[in-house]
Structure 1
Amino acid sequence: MELYVMSKCPYCAQLMEELGPLLEDLRDHVDFRVGFVGSEVEGKLSAMHGETEVAGNLLEICMQRLHGHALPSFLRCMGRNLRAIPEGWESCATAAGADVKAVRDCAGGDEGWRLLRDSYRESSARMVRGSPTLFIGGVQYQGNRSRDSLLRKICGAGASRAPQCQDLAPIPRVRAVILSDRRCADCRAGYWRSLLERTFENLDLTELDYGDPDGKALHTAAGKPLLPAVVLDASVDAFAKGSTFPFKDRLQEQGNYRVLAMGSKFDPTAEICDNGIDDNGDRKADCRDPTCRNSISCRPEKPGELSLFLMSQCPFAARAMETLPEVLKATGVREVRLHFVVSVDHDGQMRSLHGPEELAEDRRMACVQKNTPAKSLAYASCRMRNPRDPVWEPCATEAGLNSVTVASCADGAEGERLLREDAKLGSQLGIQASPTWFANNRYPFNGIQAQDVITKYCAHNQKRAACRAFVPKVERENP
């Protein structure tokens, strides 16, 4: 077995909680080793999660080199506090029975560097890009990551003599329906089909369309979820006992059904705002329907306006903010309104990709923009120079703000309301990526580099004097 990881990858930590105990049980029947996903540029090793992850990678590959038998235990221990890596690794090494000094010397010396460099090169040669990537018997494993599923695969790949392989439980049958709508251009059933087939080994899968009577009836019985949705019956409960799979905690119980509509946006009962049809029967088609007010196709055009949807701890948004002064100078735009990419879960809780700390910063930025708009970009730009720094007050001072006033808004009802308004707006507009720009209140586009942002903004503002130099010229032949 070969497992390619990043030491600070949360999905690797989840997998090792299932795989680690299994490897310890099968240690006499399985040859297990770890490789690492990263890059080498001009002799410098790097990793997705930064220098601390490189340090964690070095420790883990040295643990494998010196104490391979203790590696699963060490990986599980390290994975329980990913943010702290590499801090505290000594206690994990001691608990695994390793020689702390030997591991430290290896990780801090030439041997560790060579081991990690060679591992990066190996993962690149095998075209491994994601973490975790698991090979069992030389074949990439893409199935369910529960203990039982992993055990069945390992037993079938050559470990059949292990005692654990002798009395395998039967695979529970799971019945599922992918419910979609042919009117929805973005409702891609293929993604859900692939996810279900990877998750459930014994799957009875059908697909229904909302426009058909059976599809409409199931939609009502399942609580009218947004589409596309996966609707499972109670057979999934037997599989879920003792199993871990990616969306286990996202299933919503609706009577006899378990419903998954993670990230879905399409309401089949609502008005579609650009198809020329009265979809919801209120005799008001498209933009005449009040529910379409905030859809992209119905938003009033406001020439010259520029706004930016972002996540306050997103590294790509931080790079976009660095280029903002150049964008403003080139286009003549005087202000940029910020919005925040957040979502509201089925339980009514707001979620953000980078966790609670990002939500807290989103609220602060939203409050500053609402109450002191002239200082909004100064504060946001300062914070996004080091977005993970939990100490925000110096940036408030730098922007000329009262930190007590900012905290009072952000920690209270006003901060919550402002962020929920952005969550609703982002959902209506289908905003998921950070950063996403909006030109003229109407035209979304993506961009990080200043020249790219300027060109795309000016494409919608060709009459703006500052944009004339950036509008592409159309070449033609003169007869």
Structure 2
Amino acid sequence: MPRKSRLKKKVSKKSTKKIVKKRRHVKKSISFAKNKNAFVGLIVLVAIVAWFLFIPNESNISKTSNSDADAVLDLYVMSQCPYGAQAESEAIKAVERLGEDVALNIYYIVNSQGVRFNSLHGQPEVDENIRQLCIKENQPELLYDYLLCFNENYGAGESQYNSCASQVGIDTSKVDSCINDEGTELLRASEAETNKVGASSSPTIYLNKQPYAGGRSEMDFAREICSKLNYEIEGCSDIPKPVSFELIVLTSDDCTSCDTTQILSVSKQLFPGVRFRTVQADSDEGQQLIAEHQLVYLPSYIFDSKVTETSTWNTNTQIVAAFKESGSGFRLRDETTGATWFISEEKRADSYAKIGVVKGDNKPQIDFFIMSYCPYGNQAEEAIEPAYQELKNKADFKPHYVIYSNYGSGYPEFCMDEENKICSMHGIQELNQDIREACTAKYYGMDEWFSFALAMNNQCSDQNADTCWVNVAESLDLDTEQISSCEKNEGYELMSADKELGDILGVRGSPSIFVDGDKYSGSRTANGYLGSLCVAFENAPIECEGKIQEPTRQAVPSGACG
């Protein structure tokens, strides 16, 4: 039988029905973890925003999904990605709930190089991808049971496979035979489907060939599918329609950092019935809202009280931590949205003065807050460096470090002082490296800072930085004795200054970037950073007339540490 026909057979109505029927016989024998859709405040918003940024163009979508089903859900995942595993389990529950009118396809995000595959979570993830494809190929009626079991402890890899295979009754000899005979080709075919949509973030989701922008709980999937089908199939009879309510977005045309796109996208995903209305801060209604809700920053997101009637609010209770009661409804906390633009002109001017920004001097300033071993911060450093090389002293480039108080287990594992005032997310060696880099900027300048920081990214880690840095510094002709002296005698003062500045700007994660005092929300690319600086010039230099080459680096999914 041709391969295409065989794959189609696995997602046909008959096959889907077999899977659902089999699930009813075996699900009582399996102990599944409780639903873990704990969307927690800022973590929820950052995670979903990061995913949303990777939604590809619908014009490249594969046309090979089952055409017999009324709705087809396509998931592109990494088998050991927490977000992918969670979405996969919830999608399976929704598809089973709705029955044979809905088909589910699962594809895997990998990169092939010759006969080998690379995956973000390493070879164990590649191996698990192949095992799952082999179960789908030869024992499809057990696939959903297996995935729901495996996803409870996806990080355990092969040991979890062995445990779940035993629980659900999988013939492992068939899986082994498939791995040896056709497993590689199955994964290669899956990769081809993934490449057609350009999926690089797990999960990437499509519903009926359209990018899916809904929530990821069982009910979210079910509601979105039923909405697509106008609630006309039998399985939708007990699916409630989304609660309709208004969200007021208070913003200002003068606020260059007030990009509301991502928060509104997340809100629509979490609350499908939401209606948006934008109000300008300088309007009569805007002034009334500012007074009523005692607002300090823009943008602000004010929710009608009916938000409390939604499924998300009541089934993901920890989402409430992202909100505060305000007026007759609720609004998202500023620390959740990252709002930092002062409504008051006086406070805004005072903020600019504290961070050293001088408006109108034709010398824009970029302040970038990082952690020396946050992969997202490292990516930002590597993208800002070409912009620095292009502009040099025509703009001010100022690196800073993200400092917390009372983090983790405190001193001495995460903090440099017994009072736990100066701490770093990835431990004391990261904090020490932050200090050494700050010392390099102070005593040498930005040329040497970029050379040292980027070399440390490539050659050392948060596990060995305290010893590894010496050879790196010496290779760059930096005075290790001077840096060590600065680290010992000035480190606390340098990091305290960064924490104070970060607190003024509302910094909570790495990277956090500000151009002329306004939060940067553009693309994390060399040309994105250069373009933002060039816009901030009163009279842009000739270097702003073209594009620069992007750095070559291993891709890191969009996100933040913190």
Q: TM-score, normalised by structure 1?
A: 0.65
What residue number does 2:431 align with? 363
2:204 paired with 1:115: no
Select which of 331, 335, 341 maps to 1:267. 341
Cα distance in 2 for residues equivalent to 1:116 and 1:34: 11
What residue number does 2:44 align with? none
What residue number does 1:349 align with? none
Select which of 364, 378, 390 maps to 1:317. 378
Select which of 230, 247, 252 maps to 2:324. 252
What residue number does 2:276 align with? 205
Mark the CA change 1:209 to 1:300 in structure 2 (over 3 Å): closer, same or farther. closer
Mark the CA change 1:52 to 1:267 in structure 2 (over 3 Å): closer, same or farther. same
Please list, as runs of the form range in 1=range in 2, the aligned pairs for 1:457-472 lying within 5 A after superposition: 459=543
2:428 paired with 1:339: no
SS of 1:7's equivalent in the other structure is coil
Deviation, 1:324, is 8.0
The answer (yes or no) to whether the contact 1:367–1:406 under 8 Å persists in 2 is: yes
2:463 paired with 1:385: no
What residue number does 1:453 align with? none
Cα distance in 1 for residues equivalent to 2:221 and 2:156: 29
Cα distance in 1 for residues equivalent to 2:363 and 2:429: 29
What residue number does 2:219 align with? 148
Deviation, 1:123, is 2.7
Cα distance in 1 for residues equivalent to 2:171 and 2:401: 46
State the Cα RMSD in Å.
5.2
SS of 1:152's equivalent in the other structure is helix
What residue number does 1:98 align with? 170
The answer (yes or no) to whether the contact 2:402–2:502 under 8 Å persists in 1 is: yes
Give per-residue Cα distances to partners, 1:276-318, cap 9 Å, x unaligned: xxxx3x9xxx9xx443223655497999x99976453327836
Mark the CA change 1:221 to 1:215 in structure 2 (over 3 Å): closer, same or farther. same
SS of 1:19's equivalent in the other structure is helix
Cα distance in 2 for residues equivalent to 1:88 and 1:382: 38
Give per-residue Cα distances to partners, 1:330-367, cap 9 Å, x unaligned: 9999xx9873465989xxxxxxxxxx854766533223
Amino acid at match of 2:87: L
What residue number does 1:54 align with? 126
What residue number does 1:465 align with? none
Query: Which has the higher relative contact order, 1 or 2, with Cα contacts under 8 A spaced 6 or more apart?
Result: 2
Mark the CA change 1:181 to 1:302 in structure 2 (over 3 Å): closer, same or farther. closer
Cα distance in 2 for residues equivalent to 1:249 and 1:362: 29
Cα distance in 1 for residues equivalent to 2:254 and 2:208: 44
Mark the CA change 1:379 to 1:195 in structure 2 (over 3 Å): closer, same or farther. closer
The answer (yes or no) to whether the contact 1:174–1:235 under 8 Å persists in 2 is: yes
Select which of 106, 115, 124 maps to 2:195. 124
Q: Which 5+ residue runs of structure 2 have no aligned equivalent?
A: 1-72, 406-423, 474-479, 506-512, 535-539, 545-562
Cα distance in 2 for residues equivalent to 1:4 and 1:56: 15
What residue number does 1:219 align with? 290
2:117 paired with 1:37: no
2:264 paired with 1:175: no
Mark the CA change 1:137 to 1:458 in structure 2 (over 3 Å): closer, same or farther. closer
Mark the CA change 1:59 to 1:370 in structure 2 (over 3 Å): closer, same or farther. same
What residue number does 1:161 align with? 234
Select which of 235, 247, 253 maps to 2:306. 235
What residue number does 2:519 align with? 430
The answer (yes or no) to whether the contact 1:251–1:258 under 8 Å persists in 2 is: yes
Deviation, 1:183, is 1.6
Which deviates further from its counterpart, 361-370 or 246-255? 246-255
SS of 2:238's equivalent in the other structure is coil
Give per-residue Cα distances to partners, 1:388-427, cap 9 Å, x unaligned: 6645444256566999x979999x9985764453564645
The answer (yes or no) to whether the contact 2:257–2:519 under 8 Å persists in 1 is: no
Cα distance in 2 for residues equivalent to 1:105 and 1:387: 42
Deviation, 1:87, is 7.0
Amino acid at match of 2:344: A
Mark the CA change 1:23 to 1:332 in structure 2 (over 3 Å): closer, same or farther. closer
The answer (yes or no) to whether the contact 1:142–1:198 under 8 Å persists in 2 is: yes
For these two proteins, the number of residue pairs brought into alignment is 417
Cα distance in 2 for residues equivalent to 1:169 and 1:306: 48
What residue number does 1:275 align with? none
The answer (yes or no) to whether the contact 1:362–1:419 under 8 Å persists in 2 is: no
Mark the CA change 1:159 to 1:343 in structure 2 (over 3 Å): closer, same or farther. farther
Query: Between Structure 1 and Structure 2, which shows a larger proportion of helix residues?
Result: 2
Cα distance in 1 for residues equivalent to 2:391 and 2:248: 50
Q: TM-score, normalised by structure 2?
A: 0.57
Amino acid at match of 2:431: R
Cα distance in 2 for residues equivalent to 1:202 and 1:93: 40
SS of 1:32's equivalent in the other structure is strand
Q: Which 5+ residue runs of structure 1 have no aligned equivalent?
A: 272-279, 346-355, 446-455, 461-479
Amino acid at match of 1:368: R
The answer (yes or no) to whether the contact 1:2–1:33 under 8 Å persists in 2 is: yes
Cα distance in 2 for residues equivalent to 1:324 and 1:178: 35
